[in-house]
């Protein structure tokens, strides 16, 4: 499997899988329509945690990317077993980068976390936390989700101890909380709302508030969030979510326009065919 193919698969999973494949238990409609962004119920992944190791996650990821791309990673893993000190840290950084290159945030997250434990900087903890959040977003394995969420929360809490006012740390922690890393998603929504209050155009906070609004059926709110994101940088993921939100609102013309925009951003025949099916349902 070539790298561009992997990138395509990851992008499609990020857009379609996160919203529709994973079980949605974290957000529900509430009675008060004036508090749309803070409507929440039980967390999404409060299952009994199965603690996964980096070796287990790496093995699964290798099956996804194939033997040829996995070979240099396996070689580095062998070197890591005999390394210590600065040499160990350097190999961990290489492994994190290698996993990033093949778009596998799960194993990369563990190595970034190990690097953060050595560097002890807010930026290093945020990088690790973001990868754990991404791993949660992309996986369909419900046994892996608690591991990713637990680690994401730990990383962002460490970052916030070092940099309490860092908006990236607050955003990442909010996302992890809403996904199930806290007893109530309300705690995460509150953090994300604090971020957009300080930075109204914050991409990550607005994108995730939009997704969480979709999951709780608040599509008008979602539309505004995605339009804010797109106004800064038009990208495939927010455009797809915008199209879906318009579809749920019955705004067929706007939905079709947004779907067609998605096709121009990912000119892949298989993806285009899937989008055409969505459009056909609207006509």
Question: Could you tell me the domains of the chain?
Answer: 1-10+50-190 (1.25.40.10), 200-283 (1.25.40.10)
pLDDT tens track for 202-237: 999 999 999 999 988 899 999 999 999 999 999 999
Contact 206, 196 (CB under 8 A): yes
Residue 17: its pLDDT value, please? Answer: 54
Examine the pLDDT at 50 and tell me if it is beyond 70. Answer: no
8 A C-beta contact, residue 104 and residue 61: yes
Residue 19 has pLDDT above 90, yes or no: no
Position 128 scores a pLDDT of 98
Any residues with CB less than 8 A from the CB of 53 and at least 6 apart, and which? none
pLDDT grade for 198, boundaries at 50, 70 and 90: very high
Per the confidence metrics, is the pTM higher than 0.75?
yes
**Greater pLDDT, 273 or 87:** 87
Nearest to 128 by CA among 144, 145, 114: 114
CB atoms within 10 A of CB 241: 26
Question: Confidence class of residue 266 from pLDDT cuts 50, 70 and 90?
Answer: confident
Mean pLDDT of the chain: 85
Q: Residue 30: its pLDDT value, please?
A: 31
pLDDT (mean) for 51-62: 93
Determine which of 159-163, 170-174, 238-242, 264-268 has the lowest per-residue pLDDT on average. 264-268
Q: What band does 271 get if pLDDT is binned at 50, 70 and 90?
A: confident
In the structure, what pLDDT confidence band is assigned to residue 273 with cuts at 50, 70 and 90?
confident
Mean pLDDT to the nearest integer, 244-252 = 95
Residue pLDDT, tens place only, 85-127: 999 999 999 999 999 999 999 999 999 999 999 999 999 999 9
Sorted by sequence, the CB contacts under 8 Å of residue 34 that are 6+ apart come out as none
């Amino acid at each position: 499997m070539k790298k561009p193919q992997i990138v395509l698969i990851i992008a499609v999973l990020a857009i379609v899988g996160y919203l529709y494949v994973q079980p949605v238990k974290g957000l529900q409609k509430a009675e008060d329509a004036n508090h749309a962004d803070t409507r929440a119920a039980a967390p999404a992944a409060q299952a009994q945690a199965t603690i996964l190791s980096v070796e287990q996650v790496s093995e699964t990821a290798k099956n996804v990317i194939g033997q040829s791309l996995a070979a240099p990673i396996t070689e580095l893993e062998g070197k890591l077993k005999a390394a210590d000190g600065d040499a160990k840290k350097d190999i961990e950084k290489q492994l994190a980068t290698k996993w990033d290159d093949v778009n596998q945030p799960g194993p990369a997250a563990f190595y970034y976390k190990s690097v953060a434990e050595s560097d002890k900087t807010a930026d290093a903890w945020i990088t690790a936390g973001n990868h754990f959040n991404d791993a949660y977003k992309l996986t369909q394995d419900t046994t892996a989700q608690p591991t990713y969420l637990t680690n994401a929360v730990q990383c962002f809490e460490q970052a916030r101890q070092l940099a309490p006012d860092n908006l990236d740390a607050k955003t990442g922690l909010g996302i992890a909380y809403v996904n199930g890393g806290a007893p109530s998603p309300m705690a995460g929504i509150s953090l994300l709302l604090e971020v957009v209050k300080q930075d109204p155009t914050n991409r990550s906070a607005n994108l995730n508030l939009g997704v969480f609004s979709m999951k709780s059926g608040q599509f008008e709110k979602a539309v505004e969030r995605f339009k804010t994101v797109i106004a800064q940088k038009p990208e495939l993921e927010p455009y797809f979510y915008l199209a879906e939100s318009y579809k749920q609102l019955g705004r067929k013309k706007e939905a079709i326009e947004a779907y067609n925009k998605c096709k121009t951003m990912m000119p892949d025949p298989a993806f285009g065919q899937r989008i055409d099916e969505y459009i056909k349902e609207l006509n």
